[in-house]
Amino acid sequence: MQKCSVCNLPETYETIEFDENGVCNICRQKDFKDEKINWQKRAEMLAELIEKHRGKYEYDCIVPFSGGKDSTYTLWYLVKKFNVRPLVVQFNHGFMRDTLMENNLRTFKKLGVDVISFTPNWKLVKRLMLETLVRKGDFCWHCHTGIFAYPMHVALKYQVPLIFWGEPSSEYTAYYDYQDEEIECVDETRFNRYINLGITAEDMYGMIKDDYQCDPRELTPYTYPPLRDLKRLKYQSVCLGSFIPWDVKANTKLIQEELGWQGDQVEGMPWDEYSYEKIECSMQGMRDYIKYLKRGYSRVSQMVALDLRNERISKEYGDKLVAEYEGKKPPSLTLFLDYLGITEDQFNQIVAKTVVPPFKPDFDNMEYAPKTHDFDRWYREDEQDKGIIFKTKVAD
């Protein structure tokens, strides 16, 4: 596979393109971010935006919050730098881990903020995971649509027009490009462009209603609110990272010092090197594993690419990390199969249909990654709860 001459991302990476020197567009975006953007002007825009909304509503802003490094830093920044009164909104996707929950509780207490947490129907979550795994080779539709849609419903309910997200997508992909010099809006266009995998909640209800007992109202948290209502609210849904230069490692160091935020182990990742990355979800190893089977790279390559792009590690060390950690089968695969009620052969057959050429996965020769320290505490289904309760049994 062709790879970027700077960051080593392969041609199967989403939105990637290469220039005549073999450098990818993500690296070029980073050059523009460092050299061309007037960050002083952006900082002034941020201050004006906050002052425009301060004190006019029950809360100054909504902060969607996963508890990972980016949303924690965003919350810290807004509270400490601007002394705003935020409403923190959390969508619990069903796989939050002990360390994350402890981080959340500590952060909320230290910052003194109000919090709303929503947990959707677990049995429906499993059905949604299976549907998008089969259709897209991606089981995270419920998580991503819920995280991005539910806070917008809360914004409408509380009539708070300003919503602050954290990291801009331009850090990792080219769905949005720093070179466009725009403030990345987290709106319905972005939601439909790459969050919902091209499947709306209404589509999803139509896909599952014939074999799964479901009330369409159960899909409401996954719907994007009507644009007319959001426009009436005069909403502004933006990324903090569009106004200040985003630096993951510096941000993480700060929240560790200020909030006692703790990292964690993630399956298939170099634990010492990237203890801060994607600790929110016990199924993160499964997500990364599927990505590898489909595209020939996983999160290790993404993190190494970020560090190479920022000249924080050598090419030799990056290659060593990728060679040692990438492409490992996560121990959580057994839990995942129990949740969805499928076998590993069925799982492999589903994923094989979504492989992105020229990569060709070798399903039969995948080594297991080590178990994380908390693996034995992750949720396990009782025998009678394994799989999905279909209206009628679906033939194998």
pLDDT value of residue 393: 55
Chain region(s) in the chain for CATH 3.40.50: 39-242
Which of 71-80, 199-208, 386-395 has the least mean pLDDT?
386-395
- Which numeric CATH code is attached to 39-242? 3.40.50
In this prediction, what percent of the chain has a pLDDT beyond 70? 99
DSSP string covering 293-305: HHHS--HHHHHHH
Question: Which residues make Cβ contacts (< 8 Å) with residue 182, sequence separation at least 6?
Answer: 176, 242
Average pLDDT, the chain: 95
- Sheet strands side by side (includes 86-91): 114-118, 86-91, 61-64, 162-165, 236-239
- Pick from 209, 309, 389: nearest CA to 7: 309
pLDDT value of residue 392: 72
Report cis status (omega within 30 of 0) of the bond before 358.
Answer: yes
Token code pair at residue 308 = 């190479």
pLDDT value of residue 384: 93
State yes or no: pLDDT of 314 exceeds 70: yes
Q: pTM, whole model, 2 decimals?
A: 0.95
CA atoms within 13 A on the CB side of 395: 0
Mean pLDDT of the 352-360 span: 95
Span 195-236, pLDDT tens digits: 999 999 999 999 999 999 999 999 999 999 999 999 999 999
Span 154-204, pLDDT tens digits: 999 999 999 999 998 888 888 888 888 888 889 999 999 889 999 999 999
In this prediction, what percent of the chain has a pLDDT beyond 90? 93
pLDDT value of residue 176: 84
CA 213, CA 208: separation in Å to the nearest integer? 8
Q: Which residues pair with 18 in a beta bridge?
A: 24
Span 243-256, pLDDT tens digits: 999 999 999 999 99
Span 90-116, pLDDT tens digits: 999 999 999 999 999 999 999 999 999
pLDDT value of residue 184: 86
SS (H, E, C) 305-368: HHHHHCCCCCHHHHHHHHHHHCCCECCCHHHHHHHHCCCHHHHHHHHHCCCCCCCCCCHHHCCE
